[in-house]
Chain A
Amino acid sequence: MNNIRLLGTLIKINIQQELAYRADTLINILLSLMWLGWELLSLSIIFSNTATLGGWGPGELIALLGVWRLVNTLMAALIWPNTEKFNTSVRDGSLDYTLLQPASSLFLISFARIVIWRVWDIALAVVLIVVGIGMHGGATTAANLVAFLLLVASGGLIIYSLWIVLMACTFWFVKFDNNVTILQALMDSGRYPATVYPPWLRLIVTFVVPIAVATTVPMQALRGDLRWWQVLLFLGVGLASLLVARLVWRAGVRQYSGASA
């Protein structure tokens, strides 16, 4: 309850900050539309040369693009801005003040900065998913749809947990400014079904940096490619990763001795 009120306050502060830079917000929205245009054009180029990409049709790739944009929004709205703030606060010691607050430090670190205008990107992503599923046709069952939605949420949780673990590593290796670059670098791989990648790349985007678990896997559930136990397994991994991330974070905070101390 307390956390929800706190989140409301943090959102209010971030809206106020954003309103100070209205022109930038407008430019950012235009740039995001431009990239959407490019992504759709690149899909149309692919499908003007082939009927399916590794068995996936245009509707499925548009929906996949929507899921990818959701994950990308998670990165751009929360992960990059908060990482930047976190890294600065470790270097100059202001992290101490965050840790002293009477609220969960993990919560404050995750939501201190929220890039509000990205809400627009979420709306676009949802439109892409709905249109994509519509184009894909009536083959979607209710069970597959539920599995899809749950796996999207659990994929987001897995990416979030990996992020927390990477940031917590900073407590042990103080000079670790590149902590999340690896997440960013592999993002592009999520726009296409991981099933078309060579096995070694598929292993990396599934197990090392699980971009595919948050993008390709939910789409596979929607297509009906996954058994029920596989769906449960991925959901379990999502919950387990959140628990592990919390443990690692706590251990890290205990280990942290402050930059000024």
Chain B
Amino acid sequence: MLRIYRRMWQVNWFEQWQYRANLLMYLLYWLVSPIVYLAVWTTVANSQGSVGGLTANDFITYYLTLLIVDNLTSDITIHLLAYKIRDGTLSGELLKPVHPILTNTLMNNLAFKALTLLVLIPVWLGLCLLFRPDFSAVTIPALLLAIPAVVLGFGISFLFGAIITCVAFWTTRVYSLNEFYYALVVLFAGQFVPLDLMPPLIQRIAQYLPFQLLKYFPIQLILGRLPPDAIVRNFALAGLWFVAAVGLFLLVWRSGVKRFSAVGA
């Protein structure tokens, strides 16, 4: 099994490497909105000292950490697979004795991540020179704890991406569904602003949803802004959502593939 994954990694790494010029463009997408929000909130914080107890440095460190965490937990499955389901080229992958999503697509996601990270890190260091963040609140244990949080976050986001992609077995409108899903992420993940500044109702709902596990939770964990009981609760929540996502994915995948072959596409 490990050999399969290693081989899949090599293939996908080289495939992504071909498109390295495009990466610079994707990176721009990634960078612009966090930097815009950073600029907006530091302007507000600087004009009145702090916003809801957050200083300008709190915002700078938040969005700079967001850039890295977002890259680590995001997934691109829908762009890799939805068109293959629609035009039927998935058939070829279904014939292979390995799961197309859990091996090939997973490895392609990871290769994309590794490659973007290679470009992101120097850019990120440049941004640190420009914004001069004070990361002194970050501790080694917090960073170590963030590793499982990020892995779980990526697992959940990857499985949700795969579930949405599988909707393509039933309908062609999977990109609209994906846009709706993305809107939920924007609203509940703490991407626009740290969740503490959102209206109380949204904060209460966000607490139970999986989206904050992709961004807000790992970021706050790294920055040492969470009390121990919140950390424990979020890890438990992440475990529950991960298990639920695995179950839902297997269900959707099995019935989807059955339907796919029934159509004979």
Given contacts A50-B51, A178-B22, 7 further A-B contacts (CB under 8 A): A24-B173, A42-B192, A45-B199, A53-B40, A54-B43, A186-B32, A201-B39
Q: Using an 8 Å CB-CB cutoff, how does the interface string of A197-241 with B read, 1 for contact, 0 for none?
A: 110110000000000000000000000000000000000000000
Question: Secondary structure of the A side of the interface?
Answer: helix
- Residues of B166-208 at the interface with A, using a CB-CB cut-off of 8 Å, are 173, 176, 179-180, 183, 186-187, 192-193, 197-199
CB <8 Å contact, A38 and B32: no
Q: Give chain A residues whose Cβ lies under 8 Å from the Cβ of B192.
A: 42, 45
Closest Cβ neighbor of A175 among chain B residues: B21
Judged by a CB distance under 8 angstroms, whether A1 is at the interface is: no
Closest Cβ of chain B: how far from A176's Cβ, in Å?
10
Closest Cβ neighbor of A31 among chain B residues: B179
Tell me the bound Cα distance from A189 to B179 in angstroms. Answer: 20
CB <8 Å contact, A50 and B22: no
Tell me the bound Cα distance from A200 to B129 in angstroms. Answer: 13
Q: Which 5 A-B pairs have the closest CB atoms?
A: A185-B28, A181-B25, A196-B43, A50-B44, A188-B33
CB <8 Å contact, B25 and A185: yes
Closest Cβ neighbor of A211 among chain B residues: B32
Contacts A178-B21, A201-B35 hold; do A192 and B40 have CB atoms under 8 A apart?
yes
CB <8 Å contact, A178 and B32: no
Q: Give chain A residues whose Cβ lies under 8 Å from the Cβ of B33.
A: 188
A sample of 24 inter-chain contacts (CB < 8 A) reads: A24-B173, A27-B173, A31-B176, A31-B179, A31-B180, A31-B183, A38-B186, A45-B192, A45-B197, A46-B40, A46-B44, A49-B52, A49-B197, A178-B22, A178-B25, A182-B25, A185-B32, A186-B28, A188-B33, A192-B39, A192-B40, A196-B40, A197-B39, A198-B39
Closest Cβ of chain A: how far from B44's Cβ, in Å?
5
CB <8 Å contact, B39 and A188: no
Closest Cβ of chain A: how far from B142's Cβ, in Å?
27
**One of B28, B44, B193, B199 near A182 (C-beta < 8 A):** B28
Judged by a CB distance under 8 angstroms, whether B130 is at the interface is: yes
Judged by a CB distance under 8 angstroms, whether B48 is at the interface is: yes
- Residues of B219-234 at the interface with A, using a CB-CB cut-off of 8 Å, are none
Judged by a CB distance under 8 angstroms, whether A28 is at the interface is: yes
CB <8 Å contact, B43 and A49: no
Closest Cβ neighbor of B187 among chain A residues: A38
Contacts A27-B176, A53-B40, A197-B36 hold; do A38 and B183 have CB atoms under 8 A apart?
yes
Closest Cβ neighbor of A188 among chain B residues: B33
Interface residues on A, range: 20 to 34
Q: Give chain B residues whose Cβ lies under 8 Å from the Cβ of A192.
A: 36, 39-40
Q: Give chain A residues whose Cβ lies under 8 Å from the Cβ of B187.
A: 38, 41
Closest Cβ of chain A: how far from B72's Cβ, in Å?
20
Judged by a CB distance under 8 angstroms, whether A191 is at the interface is: yes
Judged by a CB distance under 8 angstroms, whether A35 is at the interface is: yes
Q: Give chain A residues whose Cβ lies under 8 Å from the Cβ of B136.
A: none
- Residues of B139-184 at the interface with A, using a CB-CB cut-off of 8 Å, are 173, 176, 179-180, 183
